[in-house]
C-alpha cells in the first residue's frame, strides 16, 4: 500500500473516531453540568403576621423550596431561623453552620446558637461566639409587607474562601 | 460418558483458546519465596467483588428516589429475605476494603515495590485508593438518613474551600443550589456506575501490570536494583526458579480470603449494618451528623485544626499529599528494598498510623461536641437555696454542654468541679464575661444577678459533698437524642404574589 494512502486511512480512522467519540460524550458532559444551567428560582415567602413573632425571640420557620421537582419528597423541605431583634428588626439566618454546614440549634435560655458537629457557637445576632467557624451566620433578605414578614429563598450558602457569599 | 465430556472440553478449549492463553496467566510464574505478605492484594480484589455482588443485591430493592428511599431501606432492613445480612456484608465489606487497601499499600510501600519497573502499578493504585474512599463516602450517603443528609451539606461546603470555583463545584455535587430531588440520584449514579466503572478499568490495568512486570520478588538485604539489567535478571530468575501462581501461591490467597470473608460475615450477622437513623428532613435541626468509622479521623481533624489555617489545609492538604503519593516512585528510585534497611519508611508508616489512629479515636469521643443530652445538675443533686439558682443557670445557659461537674456535662471545656478551690471570684467572673476562642463571651448574655448566682455556685460548690456520676454512658455515637427544643416553630404560609 502507498505510504500516503496509509496516512490518509490513519487520519480518517483517528479523526472520525475522535470526532464521534467526542460527540457521543457531549450529552454525558451536559448532564453532568446541567445543575449549572438549570433555571434557578427565588421567591418571597410569607412567614406570617408580624405579631406572631415577639421581640427578642428566634423562631424556626419551616418552608418549602420554590419550584421543587414532583418527586422531591422531603428535599423540598427547608428551614430558617427568624429573629425579631429588639433593635435591628427582623433577621433571617440560614440553619447551616458557617464552618461546614451542619444544622445549628437555638437555645433560648442561653441566647446562643449551638452546632452539634465541631463545637461552633454563635451569638443571637449570628456572630461567632466560639469554635471553628470563621464567619457570622449567613442571612436571608427579610422584609415586611402589609403586616406580614417575608423572606427571599436562595441557595445553600457555600463558604467560598476566595470571596465571601454576599451579605444579602 | 467421560469421553463425551472430554470432547466438549476440547471443543471449548479449541474455540476459545482457554488453555493456550488464559491458563498461562493463571499459572504465571512467581518468585519462589513469595510469602503471606503478598495475600493482601487479592484480598482487596475479593472485597471488591463482594461489594459488587452485595451491591447488586441491594440495588434490586433499593429505591433511589428521595421520596421512597427511606422506606425501601426499612424494607431491606426488616422484611427482605436476608436483607439485613446483605446490608451487613456490604457495610463490613466496605470496612474490609478500606482496611485491606491500607495494609496492602503499607506492604508495597515498606518493600519499595513501587520502584522500577512497577511505578505504574503504584500510580494506578493511588487512584484506586482515592476511589475507594469516594465509594465509602457516597455509600454512607446512600443510606439517606438524617446523618447522610447533613453529610451531603458538609461535602458541598468542603468543595467551597476550593478557590474561585469552589461554590460552583459544591452546587455541582448536590446537583443544584440546595438539596433537591436530583441530589440522591447524582450520588447513586456515581456510587453505582461511574466510580465502579473507573475502578474496574484501573483494576484491569493494575492486574495486567502484574502479569507484564511480574510480581516483585521478596527483597533481600544488600541487593541493589540496577534498572538496566533488572528485567533480564528477573526473567532469568523466574524461568529458573519461578513457581506457578496457581496453586503454589494462590492457596495462601484462598486461605486468607476465607478468613476475611469469615470475619465480614460474622460481623454482618453479629454486629449488623449501622442502624438507620431518623428519617431525614432538612427541617430537623436537632441532628447529630457523624461519618462512618473510616472517616472519623477527618471529622476529628476538622474540629481540632486551628480555624485560621483550615480553609488552606482543606484545599492544599489533600492536594499535596496526593501529589506526593503519585510522584513517590520518582522520588525514591534507589536504595535497598528490605524493610530492615528502610528505617525512615518504617518510621513514616508508624507515624501515619499513629496520627490516623489518634484522630479516629478522637472522632469517636468528639469531646468538642456539646453534650446536649446531659442531665441537668439540679436533677441529679439537691442544692441549698444559696447554690440552687446558680446550678440551674449552669444548665440553662449552656455551660453544662461543655463543662462537667462531678461527671455531669460535656468535656470540651475544663472540668469545673473544683474551680472554686483555685480560682477567686474575680478570676471566675473575668473568664465568664470574656470567654475565649472556644467559649462564648457571656458578658452580654447574663444579667448581673445571674452572673452573681453562677459565680457563687461555682465558687462554693464542694465536689466531695455531692454525688459523682456513676460509670460512663455506653460509648454510642451521638445519635438523635430527644432533647425537647425550647424554640418556637412556625410553618410558612403560602407564597404571596
Determine whether the interchain pair A118/B369 forms a contact, defined as Cβ–Cβ distance below 8 Å. Answer: yes
Name the residue of chain B whose CA is nearest to A121's CA.
B440
Local confidence band at B484 (pLDDT 50, 70, 90 cut-offs):
low
The whole-number pLDDT of residue B482 equals 46
Q: What is the pLDDT of residue A156?
A: 65
Mean pLDDT along residues B164-176 = 85
CA distance A88 to chain B (A): 16
The whole-angstrom separation of Cα B114 and Cα B328 is 8
For position B479, what pLDDT does the model report? 43
In B, which residues are within 8 Å of A79 by CB distance? 282-283, 285
Q: What is the pLDDT of residue A68?
A: 82
Per-residue model confidence (pLDDT) at position A38? 78
Q: Is B179 on the interface with A (CB under 8 A)?
A: yes
Question: Residues 45..84 of B with a Cβ closer than 8 Å to A: which?
Answer: 65-68
CB distance from B164 to chain A under 8 Å? yes
d(CA B429, CA B193): 59
Residue A164 confidence (pLDDT): 36
Model pLDDT, residue B494: 57
pTM of the prediction? 0.89
- B396 near A CB under 8 A: yes
Q: B260: distance to nearest CA of chain A, Å?
A: 34
Residue A163: band (very low, low, confident or very high) from pLDDT cuts 50, 70, 90: very low
* Interface residue of B165, B376, B440, B486 to substitute, partner A, most A CBs within 10 Å: B440
Residue B94 confidence (pLDDT) above 60: yes
Chain B residue nearest residue A130, CA to CA? B438
To the nearest whole number, what is the mean pLDDT of chain B? 91
Q: How many whole angstroms separate alpha carbon A161 and alpha carbon A158?
A: 9
CB-based contact, B319 to chain A, within 8 Å: no
B394-430 burial, b at 16+ Cβ within 10 Å, e below that, comes to: bbbbbbbbbbbbbbbbbebbeebbbbbeebeeeebbe
CA distance to B26, B325, B442, per residue, from A84 (Å): 73, 53, 21
Q: Does B424 touch chain A (CB under 8 A)?
A: no
Of the partner residues A32, A52, A119, the one whose CB lies closest to the CB of residue B490: A52
Question: Could you tell me what percentage of chain A is helix, strand and coil, using 3-state DSSP and rounding each to the nearest 5?
Answer: 25, 30, 45
In chain B, what percentage of residues exceed pLDDT 70?
A: 96
Whether A75 sits inside 8 A of B183 (CB atoms) is yes
Which residues of chain B have a CB within 8 Å of the CB of A48?
490, 492-493
Q: Which residue of B has its CA nearest to A32?
A: B172
Contact call for A35 and B397, based on CB within 8 A:
no
Question: Confidence band (pLDDT; 50, 70, 90) for A159?
Answer: low
Tell me: pLDDT of A12 over 90.
yes
Task: Give me the residue from A78, A111, A118 closest to B445, CB to CB.
Answer: A111
B477 touches chain A (CB under 8 A): no
pLDDT(A165) > 70: no
- CB contact (8 A) between residue B285 and residue A103: yes
Average pLDDT over residues B355-379: 91
Q: Report pLDDT digits (tens) over A23-80.
A: 999 999 999 998 888 777 778 888 888 888 888 889 998 988 887 888 888 888 888 9
Whether B125 contacts B108, CB under 8 Å: yes
Q: What is the model's pLDDT at position B112?
A: 95
Q: Are strands A58-64 and A105-107 parallel, antiparallel or unpaired?
A: unpaired
Chain B neighbors of A119, CB-CB under 8 A:
303, 368-370, 402, 412, 438
What are the Cα distances from residue A57, in Å, to A51, A129, B447, B485? 12, 18, 17, 14
pLDDT of residue B485: 67
For B490, nearest residue in chain A (alpha carbons): A61
Burial annotation B348-385 (CB, 10 A radius, 16+ → b, else e): ebeeeeeebeebbebbbebebbbbbebeebbebbebee
pLDDT(A167) > 50: no
Which residues in chain A have their CB less than 8 angstroms from residue B372's CB? 114, 116
Which pLDDT score, from 0 to 100, does residue A36 have? 85
Measured in angstroms, the CA of A21 and the nearest CA of chain B are apart by 18
Could you give the ipTM of this predicted complex?
0.86
Q: Which residues of B touch A61 (CB under 8 A)?
A: 489-492
CB-based contact A62 B491, cutoff 8 Å: yes
Q: Are A104 and A111 in contact (CB under 8 A)?
A: no
Please give the pLDDT value at position B401: 93
Confidence check: pLDDT of B98 > 70: yes
- What digits encode the pLDDT tens for the residues A92-150? 999 999 888 899 999 999 999 999 988 899 999 999 999 988 889 989 889 888 888 88
Contacts of B431 in chain A (CB under 8 A): none
Amino acid at each position: 500500500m502507498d505510504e500516503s494512502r496509509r496516512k490518509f486511512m490513519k487520519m480518517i480512522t483517528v479523526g472520525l473516531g475522535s470526532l464521534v467519540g467526542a460527540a457521543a460524550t457531549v450529552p454525558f458532559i451536559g448532564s453532568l453540568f446541567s445543575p449549572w444551567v438549570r433555571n434557578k428560582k427565588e421567591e418571597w415567602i410569607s412567614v406570617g403576621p408580624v405579631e406572631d413573632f415577639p421581640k427578642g425571640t428566634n423562631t424556626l420557620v419551616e418552608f418549602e423550596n420554590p419550584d421543587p421537582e414532583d418527586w422531591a419528597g422531603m428535599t423540598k423541605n427547608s428551614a430558617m431561623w427568624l429573629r425579631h431583634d429588639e433593635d435591628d428588626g427582623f433577621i433571617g439566618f440560614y440553619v447551616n453552620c458557617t464552618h461546614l454546614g451542619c444544622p445549628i440549634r437555638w437555645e433560648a435560655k442561653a441566647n446562643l446558637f449551638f452546632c452539634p458537629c465541631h463545637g461552633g457557637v454563635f451569638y443571637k445576632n449570628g456572630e461567632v461566639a466560639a469554635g471553628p467557624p470563621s464567619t457570622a451566620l449567613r442571612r436571608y433578605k427579610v422584609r415586611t409587607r402589609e403586616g406580614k414578614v417575608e423572606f427571599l429563598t436562595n441557595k445553600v450558602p457555600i463558604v467560598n474562601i476566595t470571596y465571601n457569599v454576599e451579605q444579602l | 460418558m467421560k469421553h463425551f465430556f472430554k470432547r466438549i472440553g476440547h471443543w471449548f478449549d479449541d474455540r476459545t483458546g482457554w488453555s493456550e492463553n488464559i491458563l498461562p496467566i493463571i499459572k504465571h510464574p512467581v518468585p519462589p519465596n513469595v510469602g503471606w505478605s503478598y495475600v493482601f492484594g487479592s484480598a482487596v480484589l475479593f472485597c471488591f467483588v463482594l461489594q459488587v455482588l452485595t451491591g447488586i443485591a441491594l440495588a434490586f430493592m433499593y429505591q433511589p428516589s428521595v421520596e421512597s428511599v427511606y422506606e425501601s431501606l426499612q424494607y431491606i432492613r426488616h422484611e427482605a429475605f436476608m436483607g439485613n445480612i446483605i446490608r451487613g456484608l456490604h457495610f463490613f465489606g466496605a470496612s474490609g476494603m478500606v482496611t485491606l487497601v491500607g495494609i496492602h499499600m503499607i506492604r508495597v510501600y515498606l518493600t519499595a515495590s513501587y520502584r522500577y519497573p512497577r511505578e505504574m502499578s503504584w500510580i494506578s493504585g493511588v487512584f484506586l485508593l482515592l476511589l475507594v474512599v469516594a465509594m465509602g463516602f457516597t455509600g454512607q450517603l446512600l443510606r439517606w438518613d438524617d446523618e447522610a443528609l447533613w453529610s451531603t451539606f458538609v461535602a458541598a461546603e468542603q468543595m467551597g474551600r476550593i478557590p474561585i470555583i469552589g461554590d460552583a463545584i459544591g452546587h455541582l455535587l448536590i446537583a443544584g443550589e440546595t438539596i433537591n430531588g436530583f441530589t440522591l440520584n447524582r450520588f447513586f449514579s456515581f456510587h453505582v456506575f461511574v466510580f465502579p466503572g473507573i475502578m474496574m478499568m484501573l483494576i484491569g490495568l493494575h492486574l495486567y501490570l502484574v502479569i507484564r512486570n511480574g510480581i516483585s520478588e521478596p527483597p533481600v538485604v544488600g541487593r541493589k536494583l540496577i534498572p538496566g539489567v533488572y528485567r533480564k535478571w528477573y526473567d532469568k530468575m523466574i524461568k529458573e526458579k519461578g513457581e506457578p501462581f496457581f496453586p503454589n501461591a494462590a492457596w495462601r490467597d484462598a486461605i486468607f480470603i476465607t478468613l476475611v470473608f469469615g470475619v465480614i460475615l460474622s460481623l454482618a450477622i453479629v454486629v449488623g449494618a449501622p442502624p438507620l437513623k431518623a428519617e431525614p428532613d432538612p427541617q430537623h435541626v436537632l441532628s447529630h451528623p457523624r461519618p462512618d468509622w473510616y472517616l472519623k479521623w477527618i471529622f476529628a481533624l476538622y474540629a481540632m485544626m486551628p480555624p485560621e489555617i483550615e480553609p488552606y489545609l482543606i484545599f492544599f492538604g489533600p492536594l499535596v499529599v496526593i501529589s506526593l503519593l503519585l510522584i513517590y516512585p520518582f522520588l525514591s528510585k534507589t536504595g535497598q528494598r528490605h524493610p530492615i534497611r528502610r528505617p525512615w519508611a518504617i518510621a513514616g508508616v508508624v507515624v501515619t498510623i499513629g496520627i490516623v489512629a489518634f484522630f479516629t479515636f478522637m472522632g469517636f469521643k468528639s469531646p468538642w461536641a456539646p453534650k446536649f443530652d446531659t442531665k441537668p445538675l439540679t436533677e441529679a443533686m439537691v442544692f441549698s437555696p444559696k447554690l440552687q439558682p446558680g446550678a440551674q443557670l449552669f444548665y440553662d445557659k449552656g455551660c453544662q454542654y461543655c463543662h462537667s461537674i462531678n461527671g455531669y456535662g460535656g468535656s470540651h471545656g475544663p472540668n469545673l468541679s473544683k474551680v472554686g478551690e483555685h480560682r477567686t471570684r474575680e478570676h471566675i467572673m473575668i473568664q465568664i464575661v470574656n470567654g475565649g476562642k472556644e467559649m462564648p463571651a457571656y458578658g452580654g448574655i447574663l444579667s448581673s444577678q445571674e452572673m452573681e448566682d453562677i459565680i457563687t455556685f461555682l465558687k462554693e460548690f464542694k465536689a466531695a459533698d455531692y454525688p459523682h456520676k456513676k460509670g460512663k454512658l455506653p460509648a454510642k455515637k451521638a445519635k438523635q437524642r430527644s432533647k425537647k427544643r425550647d424554640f418556637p416553630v412556625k410553618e410558612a404560609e403560602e407564597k404571596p404574589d
